[in-house]
Structure 1
Amino acid sequence: MHRSWRFEHHGRRLAVMEWGDPRGMPVVALHGWLDNAAGFTLLARLLPEVRLIALDLAGHGCSDHRPAGQPYYIWDNLADVQALLDELRLERVALLGHSMGAGVASLFAGAFPERVSQLFLLDGLAPLDYPADELPAQMAEALAKNRRLQRRALRPYASFEQAVQARMGGRWPVSREAAGWLLARGLREEADGWYWRSDLALTQPSVVRLCEPQVAAFLRRLSMPVLLVMAEAGIGMARVEQQLALVPQLELKQLAGGHHLHLEAAPAARIAQWISERLQA
């Protein structure tokens, strides 16, 4: 069983899912791009002794969208994570992040190392960057693409089942069960069909990203133990290998599985075992 609740931050409602023992060790979980808190359902079932607290990041799941015209910069999520910890009166927690959520977790832990006891990162370590000398061209390209994307309109799915099939066959495929978990929280039903709850603006390219030296500065400040689990069929080691040496206490593991390996039975069981062992150490 899970518990769902919301809290308000700067006039926006942010949605949360919780599982496990309310008196257990708190672990705050941050999902990937266009996913939602339900993506941690399987790990929660494997970690009943843990108080797993998963946040729907802004614009995702049941959380409010950011105001129209306001970009979704990855660093803006840090204030929302901070607000969640303050709402729960948690001075120090372990963070669990998948993909984009791993990048958010690393940035938060680099900014506030005193508030993070451990980091568990799944198929992702740091946010994507723009090389500093390429920023002007990247910015111009992103602004041009965003003008075109603003004219797009969402087309609904005819049925929930059609949406499940589409999610199962997406760029990063998931099982039918996992698609059901994600879509039960990620879709809304209207008179003419099923629509994504997530903000269409999330699909627009970033006008600005951090550059490599800035990302490196955050990674060097990760003074807590860091477990990085990479999927053999995920984003690829090339994405992270040059950053590994920047993290003082990083342990790297690789598992057979796809990008959403935490939603696959065998790798999820290993991940849960490693998390449990490290929380009890």
Structure 2
Amino acid sequence: MNKTPVTEELRFEVNGHQIAAKCWGDRCATPVLALHGWLDNAATFNRLAPQLRGIRLIALDLMGHGYSDHRPASMPYYIWDNVMDVLGVADQLGLEQVSLIGHSMGASIASLIAGAFPERINKLVLIEGIAPLVTDPQDTAEQMAVAIKKRIRLQGRVQKAYSDYESAVKARMNGRWPVDSEAAKWLVERGLEQRTGGYYWRSDANLMLPSVMRMSELQVESFLRRVVAATLLILGENGIPQSDRRISLVRNIRTERLAGGHHLHLEEQAAGLIATLINEFNLD
């Protein structure tokens, strides 16, 4: 009979701010960093992590999410800023090389790290994502204008509160990418806090603002071409379609398609299949 994996909370001080993490597995096992999707948190790996073997999974709350600090109010959230954050955590763990598991936005961050610093990444597991959203160069000025206007318009807006915990769980279940009640409770438990007036998301409201600047497709491709780590890409049949061209640019990639949606790693049946694939991929 398998023992329940040990779990614990960690805190890292990186570039003057705190990054929180939830960990599973033996402290002596090989550390693997896990990166969640946009507006999720480390609890997104609650269903998958206990089924992984031979590793210590360290799931980060990316900046602005979960228990981690928010970026300064004047600083937009750029996906590439997470590269330095994740490498900072790896440095504090004393890891010259590390394997990464990423979901959605977390998968995009993992690819950026592996492309910019190929010598630092051992293996990649990308779930429902491969690279960031882009803006055509000719639309860059308009992208910036729209983002800044919205940022100004929303300054000082009062954050929406939920009257009770159950309402937040229901809202998360019925989001753009639905999850079941158990998964919603995990995400809400880590992502919600009670304050005067009700229950509020811990995540930074500025994460909802459009990006002031994005890379172009050519720039993204330059990262993918530099990835040398063995890569396992896992896609849901009902998830977000991914670019065949982007996939073809990663030189050592294996793609698996499973029944499930965008959060298939939180679906009971798919999570078991994903765990089997990762265990066979051998991250330790």
Judge same fold: TM > 0.5, yes or no. yes
Match of 1:223 among 228, 238, 246: 228
Map Cα deviations across residues 193-219 of structure 1 (whole Å, 9 max, x no partner).
110000000000001001111100000
Matched, 1:123 2:108: no
Q: 5+ residue gaps in structure 1?
A: none
1:74 paired residue number: 79
Q: What is residue 98 of structure 2 aligned with on the other side?
A: 93
- Indicate the residue corresponding to 1:255 in structure 2: 258
Q: Displacement, 1:133?
A: 1.4
1:269 matches 2:272: yes
What is the deviation of 1:171? 0.5
Q: How many residues are aligned here?
A: 279
Following the alignment from structure 1 to structure 2, what is the Cα–Cα distance between the partners of residues 274 and 91?
25
Asked if 2 retains the 8 angstrom alpha-carbon contact of 1:135 and 1:208, the reply is yes
Pick one of 15, 33, 36 that aligns with 2:20.
15
| Corresponding residue SS for 2:66 | coil
* Alignment equivalent of 1:142, drawn from 140, 147, 157: 147
Corresponding letter in the other structure for 2:162? Y
Question: Amino acid of the residue matched to residue 261 of structure 2?
Answer: G
Q: In 2, distance between residues paired with 1:124 and 1:254?
A: 12
In structure 2, runs of 5+ residues without a counterpart are 1-5
Deviations 1:14-34 (A, max 9, x none): 101110121222211000000
* Distance (whole Å) between structure 1 residues aligned to residue 194 and residue 59 of structure 2: 23
2:170 partner SS:
helix
Give 4+ residue runs of structure 1 displaced > 6 Å after superposition: none
Q: Does the 8 Å contact 1:36/1:61 carry over to 2? A: yes
For the 8 Å contact 1:19–1:48, the answer to whether it is kept is no
| Alignment check: 8 A CA contact 2:27 2:56 kept | yes
- Deviation of 1:10 after TM superposition, in Å, equals 2.2
Whether 2:166 is the aligned partner of 1:161: answer yes
Separation (CA, whole Å) in 1 of partners of 2:159 and 2:43? 23
Cα root mean square deviation, aligned: 1.3
Question: Residue type of the partner of 2:151?
Answer: N
- Superposition pairs for residues 210-249 of structure 1, below 5 Å? 210-237=215-242, 240-249=243-252
Q: From 54, 57, 63, give the equivalent of 2:62.
A: 57
Report the Cα distance in structure 2 between the residues aligned to 1:98 and 1:190, rounded to whole angstroms.
30
Cα distance in 1 between the residues matched to 2:109 and 2:176: 22
User: Please, what TM-score do these two structures have when normalized by structure 1?
Assistant: 0.96
* Distance in 2 separating the partners of 1:87 and 1:80: 11
How much has 1:242 moved relative to structure 2?
2.2
State the TM-score, normalizing by the size of structure 2.
Answer: 0.95
Once residues 53 and 158 of structure 2 are traced to their aligned partners in structure 1, the CA distance between those partners, rounded to angstroms, is 41
* SS of equivalent residue, structure 2 residue 47: helix
Q: Distance in 1 between matches of 2:166 and 2:46?
A: 20
Equivalent pair of 1:21/1:48 in contact (CA under 8 Å): no
1:26-85: CA deviations, max 9, x gaps? Answer: 211000000001111111111153200111100000000001110000000011101100
In structure 1, distance between residues paired with 2:25 and 2:120: 22
Tell me the alpha carbon deviations over residues 131-184 of structure 1, each in whole angstroms, 9 at most, x when there is no partner.
111111222122222222324321211111111011001111011110111111
C-alpha separation between the residues in 2 aligned to 1:166 and 1:241?
33
